[in-house]
Structure 1
């Protein structure tokens, strides 16, 4: 039986700390972990003036939208790896985060990014040996679908 490292409170605490405090860009944007559910993790973002793209209309910058979707995709892959290919300990599992990189990112901007808070979700659709594919969504607090995304990540082998 595989261990459930993704359910380990220490793993979840450390992953949350990495996302919210240790990745400088995620911290700059103000990303927060909402859920570390392996099949649909969620990150949240609260609107602030620095994140506006169209300040006259009060809309979230498209680059911020892409960044949040890219980030939640990476989290989804890490959690799926922990679920399907658990490592011997929490720290070994977290090191997997540094062994992946985005190789393709497509964003469809469906609606202006208006709102006070946003939630990004992701689902891994394929976890191969070298490439993972993910689908993502971003919704505002009114549950309006603001953007969708699709990403491919390279899974690098450890040397």
Structure 2
């Protein structure tokens, strides 16, 4: 008699507590002063994907004739987003801990490797940044990031590796 496949139970989606979201936002937007200088503002944090935005300002111009955002702003923004995605993934992995305890796990987080591909000029008034973790190991996490124009057009991509322990 052939075996019939059994239906796997659907995984319950992880929802972060307000305390954890507020703590991550405080770390990202307040404690990391460089993110303030870039103007990075978190728009969404889930265990699978993080999103933020950057509003164009004169201090971020890289090419004066075209009012193009500086490549360093793109690179730094993508790096920061990759780190935030890793923080969210670590937070989701340790949901059995209190939010304050999970927030202390990020002390050793650091970038090991970063690659950025600039696909189109960064011209606009507003930019979106997205990041997701491709693999979260016990020591290293790998991420993929996107830098988009206000119209949703992909301007740059990034991939990075982060030390997590």
Q: Which has the larger helix fraction? A: 1
Q: Which residue of 39, 64, 67 corresponds with 1:58?
A: 67
Of stretches 103-112 and 19-28 in structure 1, the one that deviates more from structure 2 is 19-28
Counterpart residue number, 1:115? 124
Within a 5 Å distance, the mapping from 1:36-115 to structure 2 comes to: 36-86=45-95, 88-115=97-124
Partner of 1:19: 28
**Which residue among 32, 36, 59 is the counterpart of 2:41?**
32
Distance 1:120 1:87 in 2: 29
The separation in 2 between residues aligned to 1:136 and 1:42, in whole angstroms, is 10
Count of residues paired in the alignment: 155
TM-score (norm 2): 0.88
Deviations 1:73-93 (A, max 9, x none): 011111111112335222221
- RMSD, aligned α-carbons: 1.8
* DSSP-derived class of the 2:107 partner: helix
Alpha-carbon separation, structure 1, partners of 2:95 and 2:113: 26
How far has the Cα of 1:23 moved from its partner? 0.9
Q: 1:140 aligns with which of 125, 149, 154?
A: 149
Secondary structure at 1:99 match in 2: coil
Task: Find the structure with the greater CA-based Rg.
Answer: 2
Counterpart-to-counterpart distance in 2, 1:144 and 1:115: 11
Q: Unaligned 5+ residue runs, structure 2?
A: 1-11
Deviation beyond 6 Å, 4+ runs, structure 1: none
The within-5 A match list for 1:141-156 is 141-156=150-165
Q: Deviations over 1:4-23 (max 9, x none)?
A: 5x610011112112212221
3-state SS of paired residue (2:145)? strand
